[in-house]
């Protein structure tokens, strides 16, 4: 797998078909210095609504997915923390 293959309709459709969630939006993002595809996702689980992000990126032909999920009511409070955590990654 290559990073370019993430930015295709087929990958986005496969993610939506398999995530068990609703994809609210999709943007190009960065994890360390690597381009990623970020999905904003929503999932209902055990009478709770979760909101979060899933970042997909490829390093050395290996697909990585970083997922951040939190109860929807707490999302605005912790959204910036996810950005800080993601920016602290050092991928080599």
Q: Give mean pLDDT, residues 59-71.
A: 92
Higher-confidence residue of 5 and 38: namely 38
CA 73 – CA 88 distance, rounded (Å): 25
User: Is 80 exceeded by the pLDDT of residue 46?
Assistant: yes
Average model confidence (pLDDT) across the chain: 90
Residue 4, pLDDT score: 84
Q: Where are the domains of the chain?
A: 9-88
| pTM for this model (two decimals) | 0.86
- Give the CATH architecture of domain 9-88: 3-Layer(aba) Sandwich (3.40)
What is the end-to-end Cα distance of the chain in Å, rounded?
17
> pLDDT band at residue 23, thresholds of 50, 70 and 90?
very high
Q: Give mean pLDDT, residues 46-51.
A: 94
């Amino acid at each position: 797998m290559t990073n370019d293959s993430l930015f295709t309709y087929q990958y986005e459709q496969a993610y939506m078909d398999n995530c068990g969630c609703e994809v609210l939006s999709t943007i190009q993002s960065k994890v360390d210095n690597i381009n990623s595809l970020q999905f904003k996702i929503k999932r209902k689980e055990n009478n709770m609504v979760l909101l979060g992000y899933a970042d997909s990126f490829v390093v050395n032909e290996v697909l990585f997915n970083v997922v951040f999920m939190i109860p929807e009511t707490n999302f605005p409070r912790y959204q910036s923390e996810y950005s800080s955590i993601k920016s602290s990654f050092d991928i080599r």
